[in-house]
């Protein structure tokens, strides 16, 4: 069996058999939320935390999933177990739960919407595309397009409408192939990368934008806990570009990247190398929490190809 499975509304099906309606509100209006965990060595990491955040997003979007926290966890664990035989050597999965508000209804017709649509799937983490980031660091470039203001849509609700970030990444990719988009907030301070949180290290202190303007990432929280445990000062604060350029180190965090060094920002190279000493301590600590040398996993797939975000 070489085809992966997906979970759709209570059933685990082969991916080629899994489908949703063209009238699904997630497709029609983007009325949907999601959350993505990952595996390390085939074992799910921080799944409960991802499901808790999914439940928060569902409440924000006013979507009744018709499933409990325990049911989401059980369905996800069963799907990953079904897909483990298809996991290639040295690789791991992104595991995404998506929930939409169900089917669109039409005036004068019987109601079609019988409840939410729940889809869970597994896809390989883009280790090949992202491996160069762990060798050379990430080239970050600030996009002209700002992050959606929290007064419009909370950055802490993970909605399936990623167009804001996708357009920012397309803008940067067109001008700087292989670079990663970093978006400002509506006040001009640095917010978050496309799909990841941003940190700088200045004079031994780690700084990161506050969750008023950025997603409270699960990996971001791992780093926060590590800084506390390692005695590294951490501050959530507005992060102007000038402050970031005065830093000696920078890194991104995300579910797949964990913690990954940023080599430069808008062409300005950070002075402490790739990775800098504080970033290295955090990366080492993250590997211990994950129970796996994730950097070595990435570097095992290193090639001379142009890096890519996978977005």
Q: If you average pLDDT over every residue of the chain, what do you get?
A: 95
Q: If one looks up domain 5-124 in CATH, what number appears? A: 3.30.470.10
pTM as predicted:
0.93
Nearest-CA neighbor of 212 among 187, 182, 195? 187
Would the pLDDT of 1 be above 70?
no
> What letters, b where the CB count within 10 A reaches 16 and e where it falls short, cover 245-268?
eebbbbbbbbbbbbbbbbbbbeee
Report strand pairing: 180-184 vs 190-193: antiparallel
* Domain residue limits, the chain: 5-124, 129-299
The per-residue pLDDT for range 160-213, each reduced to its tens digit, is 989 999 999 999 999 999 999 999 999 999 999 989 999 999 999 999 999 999
The per-residue pLDDT for range 117-130, each reduced to its tens digit, is 999 999 999 999 99
Output DSSP code: residue 87: P
**CA distance linking residue 38 with residue 17, whole number of Å:** 24
Contacts of 118 (CB under 8 A, 6+ apart): 7, 8, 9, 10, 65, 66, 67, 75, 97, 98, 99
Q: What is the pLDDT of residue 112?
A: 74
Confidence of residue 30 (pLDDT cuts 50, 70, 90): very high
Sheet holding 32-40, edge to edge: 11-14, 5-8, 117-124, 93-100, 32-40, 43-45
Tally of CB atoms within 10 A around 242? 7
Identify the CATH class of 129-299: alpha beta
């Amino acid at each position: 069996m070489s085809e992966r499975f997906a979970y759709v509304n209570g059933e685990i099906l082969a991916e080629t058999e899994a489908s949703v309606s063209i009238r699904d509100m997630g497709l029609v209006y983007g009325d949907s939320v999601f959350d993505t965990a990952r595996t390390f060595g085939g074992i799910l990491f921080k799944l409960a935390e991802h499901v808790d955040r999914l439940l928060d997003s569902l409440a924000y979007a006013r979507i009744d999933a018709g499933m409990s926290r325990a049911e989401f966890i059980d369905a996800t664990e069963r799907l990953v177990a079904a897909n483990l035989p298809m996991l290639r050597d040295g690789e791991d999965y992104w595991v995404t739960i998506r929930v939409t508000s169900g089917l669109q209804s039409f005036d004068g017709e019987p109601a079609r919407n019988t409840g939410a649509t729940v889809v869970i799937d597994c896809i390989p983490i883009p280790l090949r595309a992202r491996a160069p980031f762990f060798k050379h660091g990430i080239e970050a470039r600030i996009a002209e397009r700002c992050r959606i203001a929290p007064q419009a849509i909370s950055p802490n609700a993970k909605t399936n409408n990623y167009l804001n970030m996708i357009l920012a990444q397309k803008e940067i990719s067109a001008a700087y192939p292989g670079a990663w988009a970093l978006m400002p907030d509506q006040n001009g301070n640095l917010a978050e990368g496309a799909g990841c949180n941003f940190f700088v290290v200045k004079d031994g202190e780690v700084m990161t934008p506050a969750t008023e303007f950025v997603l409270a990432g699960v990996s971001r929280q791992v780093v926060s806990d590590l800084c506390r445990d390692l005695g590294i000062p951490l501050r959530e604060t507005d992060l102007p570009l000038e402050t970031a350029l005065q830093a000696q180190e920078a890194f991104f965090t995300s579910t797949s990247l964990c913690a990954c060094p940023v080599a430069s920002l808008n062409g300005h190279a950070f002075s402490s190398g790739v990775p800098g000493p504080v970033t290295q301590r955090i990366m080492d600590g993250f590997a211990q929490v994950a129970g796996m040398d994730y950097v070595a996993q990435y570097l095992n797939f290193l090639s001379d190809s142009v890096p890519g975000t996978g977005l």
